[in-house]
Amino acid sequence: MSVVEPVAHALAARLLPLLDLTSLGEDDTPARIEAMCTRALGSGLPAAVCIYPEHITTARRALGDSAVKIATVVNFPDGGSDAQRVERETRRALAAGADEIDLVLPWAALQGGDPGCARAVVLAARTACGNTHCLKLILETGQLTPAQIHAASELGIQAGVDFLKTSTGKVAVNATVEAATIMLEVIAAHGGRCGFKAAGGIRSLADAALYLDLARDRLGDEWVTPGHFRIGASALYDALLPLLARPA
């Protein structure tokens, strides 16, 4: 065994319970979602699976009474500005069995100088989630300037979201270290009560380690738990499992 293998095994073990195993393909089928959930149960539990709302019932049946949460997306991927529609969409997802909501911020409204519209959408989802369901806010950072990422992070925390999330994975630029740094610094400035989720293009152990280190440096290793830190990915799961299968 090489010197680096124990380090890689330990890092993979650290990351697995922080993972939101994600499938948001336009051609996802119930069979595909069921197979993903079954694999997760047999290969090492992630924090959650993240899927489209139409697959919540399938995932709930496949996951049974396991500890894996079901996350779904609303206002996705475009980030519309209709607060009433977002509230209805969120309530339907929760009624279907979702545990967590990943909401796309109306980032274009924020860009256009209408933060009030963006805030109304976030508050509508927060109202629907109440105090019992986790709300993650997708900023779509690849479409925003650094100043706008900072403003969006402040908006989300002030509206009471549980996590700030980088990206939908549906645009040209998704998670970046630069965007994550801004978001984590805003989170730290607010005492670390809001969590952080990196998503979009994170495929390798090295990719994931960058975000893990950013969070540790700003908020401490003890902060990095599934309640505060997630990585949304599918290819990353495939990269972690072979490392975990080797002896530590």
Catalytic one of 102, 136, 162, 207? 102
User: Tokens at residue 175, please?
Assistant: 């998670």
102 is catalytic: yes
pLDDT of residue 248: 60
What angle is formed at CA 137 by the lines to CA 133 and CA 139, rounded to 5 degrees? 175
Q: What are the E-state strand segments in the chain? A: 19-23, 48-51, 69-74, 100-104, 134-138, 163-165, 195-199, 229-233
pLDDT of residue 4: 62
Catalytic one of 20, 136, 162, 165? 165
Catalytic one of 20, 99, 136, 197? 197
pLDDT tens digits along 188-212: 999 999 999 999 999 999 999 999 9
197 is catalytic: yes
User: Tokens at residue 244, please?
Assistant: 């975990």
pTM: 0.96
pLDDT of residue 5: 78
pLDDT of residue 6: 85
Residue 164: beta bridge partners? Answer: 137, 196
Which residues of the chain register pLDDT less than 70? Answer: 1-4, 247-248
Structural domains in the chain plus CATH codes: 4-243 (3.20.20.70)
Q: What's at 95, amino acid-wise?
A: A
Contact criterion met (CB below 8 Å) for 231 and 202: yes
